Amino acid sequence: MSLWWAILGAFLAPLLPGHGLPVLAAALVAAAPLVIFTQMRSRGIYPSVAIRLWVFRPFWYVQLSLPLIATAGVIGFLAGAPFGAAVSTARWALLIAASAFAVAAVVGYIGSRWLRVKELDACFPDLPEPLEGMRIVQVSDLHVGPHTSRSYLAKVARKVRDARPDLIAITGDQVDDYAPDVAYFAKAFSGLAAPHGVFAIPGNHDVYAGWSAVRAGLEAMGITVLVNDAVEVRRGTGSFWLAGTGDPAGGGAAPDLDRTVARVPAGAFTIALAHNPALWPGLARRGVHLTLSGHTHHGQLSIPRLGWSLASPFLKHAMGSHRLAESLLYINPGTNYWGLPFRIGALPEVTVLTLRHCPGREAEIK
């Protein structure tokens, strides 16, 4: 971070009173939230709405914008150097980059509130007849805290109810890094219900918050929490198995895939909830038919037509649906956001998956 501030100072200090002092002061102010965050964590202090909105959030905006703006200045400097206008071109580049970031921040904020309901069919050649037409509604990565808009959470709950779910799957990161956040989650979603139940699994942020406390809060709502376990769910004259994994973040909820499916009879139709899609290949090898994941947020910035997201360079399976033999994976882009209210091309989503029988065809999500 010091490097980025040094670059800005080199280009802007001559224009400012006191030369580099205003830039140095800005750098110190921008770093202050990190000190506050560390102190609050070490002392177990629960951050208020004001701290989250007016201290932590500006910190993340600065962390995201600083390297982009500074890099633009360097590019401008290099582009202008052959013409003897290196510094002036660099300053124009800084202004253009800062303006573009401001516009993107506004567009991203609008996108973070643009909740959509995505309806998909998950087709299987061996789907048991009683499961035909079953509707699974998935939400993920809600990251609820006291600062989360209550009207937005009410909209999520309404969309879930309106989707007429047979089963509700909440695939991790229920809270925004602090165990007491689960009280706000419960206030928003305690009224959700479905004929075959409401199920949840841990995500990495639930683990960071303190999984035992988060789990207790979820179970107090009547949600069935699955961690490396599976339950049989009856539907009409048939049944299926619903499994839930732990999360690679560990903290008392580390994944154990063998244990996750240990109770599942061989050949039984199985649906798994796994927050991190990196667990899917292992589940597929263990006979799981459908895995629902989240975690990636599709980078909160994506180009869906190209199948690319900001998370793509870091994850083999970062967005969308995937197939391995007859096993399917769907990655929900997140129903809220984390860090910054910023989403472009990766809109928040309530996913409605309807199970379909497709004899003579390969399994697919469409």
pLDDT digits (tens, 9 = 90+) for 258-283: 999 999 999 999 999 999 999 999 99
90 with 238, same domain: the answer is no
pTM value? 0.94
26 with 94, same domain: the answer is yes
pLDDT band at 290 (very low <50, low <70, confident <90, very high): very high
235 with 346, same domain: the answer is yes
pLDDT band at 91 (very low <50, low <70, confident <90, very high): very high
23 with 123, same domain: the answer is no
When divided into structural domains, the chain yields a total of 2
Q: What is the DSSP letter of 265?
A: P
**Distance from C-alpha of 86 to C-alpha of 68, rounded to nearest angstrom:** 18
178 with 262, same domain: the answer is yes
Of the residues 112, 132, 157, the one at which a domain ends: 112
348 pLDDT higher than 90: yes
CATH of the domain at 210: 3.60.21.10
123 with 159, same domain: the answer is yes
**Nearest C-alpha neighbor of 244 from the set 217, 279, 287, 219:** 279
155 with 46, same domain: the answer is no
- What tokens does 335 get? 């129903």
73 with 214, same domain: the answer is no
Average pLDDT over residues 114-137: 97
256 with 150, same domain: the answer is yes
Range of 68's domain? 2-112
Provide the β-strand partners of residue 199. Answer: 169, 224
Of the residues 112, 139, 174, the one at which a domain ends: 112
Of the residues 82, 112, 142, the one at which a domain ends: 112
26 with 165, same domain: the answer is no
122 with 94, same domain: the answer is no
120 with 219, same domain: the answer is yes
